[in-house]
C-alpha cells in the first residue's frame, strides 16, 4: 500500500517524495483509496502550524495557514477551479466548447474572480476557526473533502480518454473506494458528533449540486472539475464549521 500512498501524495501535493519507480495502472487506481490519508496529513500540518503560532494575531495566523495549505498542494486544485469557471462561463452551454476551454492554460476573468472569492472565504473561515480554537476542523475538512474525489469517480463518468484521470477512473477498486468514503463519514460522526453530521450534510449538498452541473454540461467529470469540487467543498466546509454554534456537540 506504500506505493499507492506515494502516488496519491504526488498527485495531490507538492511535498518532496522518494522515487518509487514505475507504477502500474492498478497501483495508480488504488491511490484513490489513500486520498483521505493525504487530507489527514495536510490537516495535521495545518493544525500543527496553528498550534505553533498560537501567540500571533488570528488574522496573521489565518493568512499563514492559507499560504501553507496552498504551498502544500501547489495550487493545483485552484488551477482546476479557474479552468472550470472559465469553461462554464465561456462555453455557453456547449459541451465541446466547455471541454476545449478547460484545456486552455490561460485564466480569464471568471477564473480569477472565482479563485479570489474562494480564497477570501477560506481566509475568513480560518480566522473564525482560529478564534474559536477549533483545530479539529482543520483536520476534518481536508480529510473529508478528499474523500469526495473517489466518490465522484464512483458515481460519475470520466469524459476524457487519456491522462491520469482516465487511469484513475478505469482502475480504482470500486468496492474498497465505497468503504473508504463510508469510513470517512463514520469517522466524522464519531469524532465530531452533531457538528460532524452538519459538516457531512453541507458536503453532500455541495457534491450533489456540482455533480449535477457537471453531468448537465459535460456529461461527466474531468481533472479540472475534480479540482473545482475539492476547492469549493473545502471553502463550504470551512465556512460551515466556522458558522456552527459552539454549543452544538
Q: What would the pLDDT profile of 188-227 be if each residue is shown by its tens digit?
A: 999 999 999 999 999 999 999 999 999 999 999 999 999 9
pTM, two decimal places: 0.94
Cβ-contact 96, 71 below 8 angstroms: no
Question: Phi first, then psi: what are they for 203, rounded to 5°?
Answer: -65, -40
Between the alpha carbon of residue 27 and those of residues 76, 161, 169, 174, 222, the distances in Å are 22, 19, 12, 14, 20
Q: What would the pLDDT profile of 29-87 be if each residue is shown by its tens digit?
A: 999 999 999 999 999 999 999 999 999 999 999 999 999 999 999 999 999 999 999 99
Question: Phi first, then psi: what are they for 159, rounded to 5°?
Answer: -85, -20
Domain boundaries, the chain: 28-240
Amino acid at each position: 500500500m506504500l506505493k499507492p500512498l506515494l502516488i496519491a501524495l504526488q498527485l495531490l501535493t507538492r511535498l518532496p517524495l522518494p522515487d518509487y519507480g514505475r507504477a502500474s495502472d492498478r497501483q495508480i487506481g488504488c491511490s484513490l483509496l489513500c486520498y483521505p490519508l493525504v487530507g489527514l496529513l495536510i490537516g495535521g500540518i495545518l493544525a500543527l502550524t496553528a498550534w505553533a503560532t498560537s501567540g500571533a494575531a488570528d488574522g496573521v495566523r489565518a493568512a499563514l495557514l492559507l499560504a501553507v495549505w496552498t504551498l502544500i498542494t501547489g495550487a493545483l486544485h485552484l488551477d482546476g477551479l479557474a479552468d472550470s469557471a472559465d469553461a462554464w462561463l465561456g462555453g455557453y452551454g456547449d459541451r465541446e466548447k466547455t471541454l476545449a476551454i478547460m484545456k486552455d492554460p490561460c485564466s480569464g476573468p471568471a477564473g480569477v474572480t472565482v479563485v479570489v472569492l474562494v480564497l477570501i472565504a477560506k481566509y475568513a473561515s480560518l480566522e473564525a476557526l482560529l478564534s474559536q480554537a477549533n483545530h479539529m476542523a482543520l483536520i476534518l475538512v481536508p480529510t473529508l473533502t478528499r474523500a469526495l474525489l473517489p466518490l465522484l469517480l464512483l458515481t460519475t463518468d470520466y469524459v476524457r480518454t487519456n491522462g491520469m484521470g482516465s487511469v484513475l477512473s478505469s482502475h480504482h477498486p470500486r468496492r474498497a473506494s465505497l468503504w473508504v468514503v463510508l469510513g470517512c463519514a463514520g469517522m466524522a460522526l464519531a469524532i465530531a458528533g452533531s457538528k460532524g453530521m452538519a459538516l457531512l450534510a453541507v458536503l453532500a449538498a455541495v457534491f450533489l449540486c456540482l455533480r449535477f452541473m457537471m453531468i448537465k454540461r459535460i456529461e461527466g467529470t474531468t481533472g479540472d472539475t475534480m479540482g473545482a469540487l475539492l476547492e469549493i467543498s473545502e471553502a463550504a466546509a470551512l465556512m460551515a464549521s466556522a458558522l456552527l454554534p459552539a454549543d452544538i456537540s
